[in-house]
Structures are given as C-alpha cells and as structure tokens.
Amino acid sequence: MASSFCTVLPSHVLARKASFPPAPSEIFRTSLAPERFRRHRRRFLQFSCPKVVRAVSSMATREGAATVAAEGSKIRVAHVLTVAGSDSGGGAGIQADLKACGARGVYCSTVITALTAQNTAGVQGVNMVSEEFVAEQLKSVLSDMHVDVVKTGMLPSVGIVKVLLHSLNEFPHLALVVDPVMVSTSGDVLAGPSILEVFREELLPRADIVTPNLREASTLLGGKQIETVADMHEAAKLLHDMGPRNVLVKGGDLPGSFDAVDVFFDGEEFYELRSARVRTHNTHGTGCTLASCIAAELAKGSPTLSAVKVAKRFVETALDYSKEIVVGDGPQGPFDHFLMLKREMQGSRKHWIFEPSRLFLYAVTDSVMNKNWDRSITDAVKAAIEGGATIVQLREKEAETGYFIEAAKSCLEVCRSHGVSLLINDRVDVALACDADGVHVGQSDMPVRVARALLGPDKIIGVSCKTPEQAHRAWTDGADYIGCGGVYPTNTKANNKTIGLDGLKAVCLASKLPVVAIGGIGPSNAGAVMEIGAPNLKGVAVVSALFDRECIVEEARKLRATLDKGKTSNS
Ligand SMILES: Nc1ncnc2c1ncn2[C@@H]1O[C@H](COP(=O)(O)OP(=O)(O)O)[C@@H](O)[C@H]1O
Ligand SMILES: Cc1ncc(COP(=O)(O)O)c(N)n1
Ligand SMILES: [Mg+2]
C-alpha cells in the first residue's frame, strides 16, 4: 500500500528534492508553511485516540515537531543524522548530539567517525574508525531511514570526509550542517591541518550552514586573527565566499566579552546574536549541541536564522540550568541537556494523572473580597487550606501581572507543601510563569485547545460550562474537569445566568468529565447540591462563602464537615 507521509522541509531542501522526484510509493514531501501544516496535522490526528492526539499535538506544538503521517496512526518524525566522534565523557560529540536532538523532540541516528577517550580534564586518546566502516554505517542509515538533515562534527581524516561527500552526492536533497570540529575546548587536536583543503574545497561548498568557533574560523582562513566582533563579521564574509549558504561564527571564546555573541551571515545580511554569558565551567559540548539543535530545527522545517536563534537560546538555557552541576574533577565540565525538562516534570509529577477527588472542596479567591477584609492572597489561601480546601483557584481579575505572578508563586509554595493543587483563573501566561498546576478558563477566555497546546499534557485545565453541549466540547477539547453553574444566584459574577440543580444535573449527565458545582454555594446548601445523584459530581467550588467571611478557616471547616457528612451517608 502506498504510504503518503507529509514532512515540512526548508525551501532549500525542497528545491534540491525537486530535481529528484520521489516515486509515487515514496515519501511525499510538502512545502506547507508550518502554521498551515499544524492545522492539517490536527485533522489527521482527529481520527486517532483522543489521549494520543492530546499528547502528540501538545508536545508537537511545544517542541515544534513538524512531521506526521497521513495514513492511519503512523507518524514519521523529523530526523537528524549526526556524523561525528564519540566522547566517552558524554559531554560532546555523538553523545551531545543525541541529547540535543532528544531535547528538541527530533529523532537522531549516528555514524561514528572516531572513538575518543575523553573526560573533564581533556582527551586522553583517539581511535579512528576505518573509512570502510564509516561508509558502511552511512549506507545502513541512508539506504533505509528517512533522514532530513545531516550534521557533521569530528571528521578526523581526509578519507572520512571523502566517504561522507560520496554519500551526500547520492542523497543531494539532504540539508547539511557542518560544525568544523578541529580542536576540543581542552586544546586537544581532533582533526589535523590535513583536512583543511577538503573542507574548504568540497565540504563547505556543500553546506547549508557552517558553524566554526573563533579558532576554527581562524584556521579555515589560514590563521586570520579574530579578536573582535568586527573581525567575526569579516571572517563570516570570507568563509561565506568559500561556498556555504550560511555562516555562523561562534564567539563563546571571544576575549573580554560580557555577552556570548555569535555572528550569522546569509550572504546578504549580518546578524549579531547575543545572549547573556553564563558564568560556568560547564561549557564542554556547547558547539556540538548548538549545531545539533540547528539541525533539529531545520529538520522540523524552520528557516535557518530561526533555527540558529532557537539553538542559541537552548544552549544558553541549558548552561544556565547546569551552571552548578559537577560531573568530573577536571576544569571543563559538561552540561545537562535535560535539566530544564526534568525540573518541569518534577513540578508537575504530582498531577501526572488528574485526580478528580481533588475537586471536593474547591476554594476560588476573589481580589475584591481580600481587599475588603484586608488580607493578602497568600493568607487567604493558607486559611482555606487549613480549613480543608482540596484545590485552590486564584481568580484575581484586577491584579497587575507582575504582582499576580509573585502572589501566585507564594501561594504555590503553600499549596505544594500541603499537597493541594493551585490553578490560575483565565491567565495562562501567569500559570506558565509561576509553573502553577493548571488553569481554569471560561467560555469566552482562551479556548481549551489553545491552552492545552501552551500548557502541555500534564497541567490541569478546567472550563466553565452551563450546557450539555459545552460539556461535550470540553471533553473533546482536552479539558480535565468542568465547573458548572451558577447553581444558585450569586453576587460574584454580574449577569450570570443561574441554572439551578436541574441544569447542574443535566450537565453532569452529559459530561464525560468530572464536575464541580459553583455559584452561591455555602454550608447551608452544599449538602443539597451533592445529593443530586450524579456520580461525576465531585465537589463544590466556593467564593463568597469562604472569602467574604470574617474567619475563612472556620467557614472552610463547616463546609468540609457538611461535605464529609454527605459522603459518609452516601457510601
Ligand atoms: N558561557 C556561555 N554562556 C552562554 N553562551 C555560551 C557560553 N559559552 C559558549 N556559549 C555559546 O555556545 C555556543 C557554542 O559556542 P563556542 O563555545 O564558541 O563553540 P565551541 O564549543 O565549538 O567552541 C555559541 O552559541 C556560544 O555563544
Ligand atoms: C568527540 C568530540 N567531538 C567534538 C568535540 C568538541 O567539543 P568541545 O569544543 O566542546 O570540546 C569533542 N571534544 N569531542
Ligand atoms: Mg566551546
């Protein structure tokens, strides 16, 4: 059966591919712009299991993974092939490339050109792989797998470069990122001067981008001095004259520079890409990682300058997260490509699967009430939890953003220490900024689908619904629970239609999601609400009955007692 894969590729790759039309049964590559492609991907994915759709589409949107199959449930991922040396210390070379591609959501295959015995002190030994075996690895990968971009690192001999060039000639559609690795940060030689000629004459002209550091740029240019940003511009121009489509001269080692500045030249314009210089010794492998990230972004379909910008930001962030880690005793340590992801997971692991029983006593704060009673948000939240609240939502309609983020962070500390989830009303940006457990959105706020794409699969998303139709939509859009009301009249929401217990029951019956009732609920009527007899009604949400009272702890305890009583009499 013919498979019709769909891949977004950079236009220059498409141009090459055009001269080699694929057989009908082969991969079909499309030049859809990423935005349009995303829409198509959604349509493909609609036919699969909703949970998979949710995980894949939100991961893809976050990481920009831009490949998907049109047929059945097959998904083809963006793919980088790295042709580089192994670093036994795991900081640079093949190991860095695998981690960088993994962190950017892209598949990575490997052709190993040399084994190095290496650690944080330097390179103790190099064992070159034979040309024949490099050729065999290239053949295995390229004859079978759908590679989008080739990225090169350590190419230790002229023979190995020639073998690679031969393969690239056979697959002219492949994009090529050349990191001209010659000397390690520790000062050890990884490829001698003999390779310079074939680099200049044959490899660089074939490259879509070449990414030398200062020393490598200088060596390629016959020993040109590069000591200032102006020198970097000049070097980028001279290297571009050798034939690559784009040049990035990296300034990680620029003397006396406060910023980490790289110079990008596309043959027409120069761009100075600056980031803060992270104060750390853990910079081993930055060059390999940068080039692999560029390759990964190109494989997803990014234009080259965007790919470089994303890659640089990735390196800067990874360095920042890893600045304190200690892996070895030598002067130059590696960094951790996944630390930022691990931290994210740590924050949300508690809620990996949303537990509906958390909706039992749901406290929703109100900025006006807190002001009237002269309380801070944090104090109000502390009191609600002390009284028995099982989940908290910050509904701060008037708060200024900076203040709101700080307040949310402080509430989050309180909530985490008590194992209580904290959601933010409406403000997905604030939820992201403080790493809250999720958001609650209204029908006219950010759509659940968009919020899910931004927040990822692990965060909790609740949505207010008044009707069975809205409840159904909440389920298909990927929400975790429904807030249903107003059940009784309330002053907290102007012009809010009251749906009564019947309306609540109708929504509960239609909903595949757990429901929390809201609107005018307090100790006097919470029992009646929970008695409507809907198994997916998991609790009540309260605003005034807690926060517009003198003693929040006492009111929360009363409510909790009513709810607990109802629970025991029902069980
Ligand atoms: N201390 C640092 N803080 C932030 N970025 C850095 C730091 N050191 C290097 N970089 C960045 O890492 C990337 C790799 O640069 P560089 O270290 O010069 O390459 P190489 O590892 O090939 O020597 C560049 O984008 C550079 O700006
Ligand atoms: C196998 C291998 N490839 C590349 C590098 C360069 O990395 P760095 O410049 O960060 O030392 C390295 N040290 N080892
Ligand atoms: Mg370096």
Q: Does 422 have pLDDT greater than 50?
A: yes
152 in catalytic set: no
Which ligand does the CA of 275 lie closest to? Answer: 1
pTM: 0.62
Do 191 and 323 lie in one domain? The reply is: yes
Q: How far is the CA of 238 from the centre of ligand 3 (A)?
A: 22
Ligand 1 atom nearest to CA at 280: 1
Q: How many domains does the chain have?
A: 3
566 in catalytic set: no
Do 333 and 461 lie in one domain? The reply is: no
Do 237 and 293 lie in one domain? The reply is: yes
Residue 391 lies in a domain: yes
More reliable by pLDDT, 438 or 17: 438
The domain boundary residue, chosen from 69, 98, 120? 69
How far is it between the farthest Cα atoms of the chain?
A: 87
More reliable by pLDDT, 515 or 2: 515
Residue 74 lies in a domain: no
Which ligand does the CA of 277 lie closest to? Answer: 1
Q: Does 527 have pLDDT greater than 70?
A: yes
The domain boundary residue, chosen from 296, 311, 337? 337
- Per-residue pLDDT, averaged over 223-250, amounts to 97
- Per-residue pLDDT, averaged over 105-133, amounts to 97
Catalytic residue (one of 67, 89, 105, 250): 250
80-99: burial string, b at 16+ Cβ within 10 Å, e else: bbbbbbbbebbbbbbbbbbb
Q: Where are the alpha helices (DSSP H) in 435-499?
A: 448-455, 468-477
Catalytic residue (one of 108, 288, 415, 465): 288
Do 98 and 65 lie in one domain? The reply is: no
The domain boundary residue, chosen from 69, 100, 120? 69
pLDDT at 436: 95
CB-based contacts of 60: which residues, under 8 Å, 6+ apart?
38, 41, 66, 68, 105
Residue 87 lies in a domain: yes
Ligand 1 atom nearest to CA at 278: 3
- Whether 54 is in the pocket of ligand 1, judged by its Cβ within 6 Å, is no
ipTM: 0.95
Residue 60 lies in a domain: yes
Do 447 and 409 lie in one domain? The reply is: yes
Ligand 2 atom nearest to CA at 154: 3
The secondary structure of residue 193, as a DSSP letter, is: G
- Per-residue pLDDT, averaged over 416-428, amounts to 94
- Whether 10 is in the pocket of ligand 2, judged by its Cβ within 6 Å, is no
Instruction: Give the range of the structural domain holding residue 493, as residue numbers without chain letter.
Output: 348-570
- Whether 275 is in the pocket of ligand 1, judged by its Cβ within 6 Å, is yes
Do 33 and 97 lie in one domain? The reply is: no
Do 315 and 371 lie in one domain? The reply is: no
Residue 178 lies in a domain: yes
Catalytic residue (one of 64, 285, 485, 486): 285
- As a whole number of angstroms, the distance between CA 410 and CA 379 comes to 10
The CATH number covering residue 225 comes to 3.40.1190.20
Residue nearest atom 4 of ligand 1, based on CA coordinates: 277
Q: Residue 22: what residue type? A: P
Handedness of CA 104, 108, 111, 112 (dihedral sign): positive
283 in catalytic set: yes
Do 353 and 325 lie in one domain? The reply is: no
CB-based contacts of 535: which residues, under 8 Å, 6+ apart?
none
Q: Which helix (H) or strand (E) holds 123?
A: strand 122-128
Tens of pLDDT along 456-498? 777 899 999 999 999 999 988 889 999 999 999 987 766 778 9
Mutate to test the pocket of ligand 2, among 154, 155, 280 (most ligand atoms within 8 A of CB): 154
Residue 515 lies in a domain: yes
289 in catalytic set: no
- As a whole number of angstroms, the distance between CA 173 and CA 381 comes to 58
Residue 331 lies in a domain: yes
Percent of the chain scoring above 70 in pLDDT: 84
- Whether 316 is in the pocket of ligand 1, judged by its Cβ within 6 Å, is yes
Do 107 and 60 lie in one domain? The reply is: no
Residue 343 lies in a domain: no
Do 43 and 109 lie in one domain? The reply is: no
pLDDT at 50: 33
pLDDT at 568: 72
286 in catalytic set: yes
Do 327 and 450 lie in one domain? The reply is: no
252 in catalytic set: no
Do 219 and 238 lie in one domain? The reply is: yes
The CATH number covering residue 448 comes to 3.20.20.70
Residue nearest atom 7 of ligand 2, based on CA coordinates: 285
Give the lowest-confidence range in 47-56, 359-368, 408-417, 484-493: 47-56
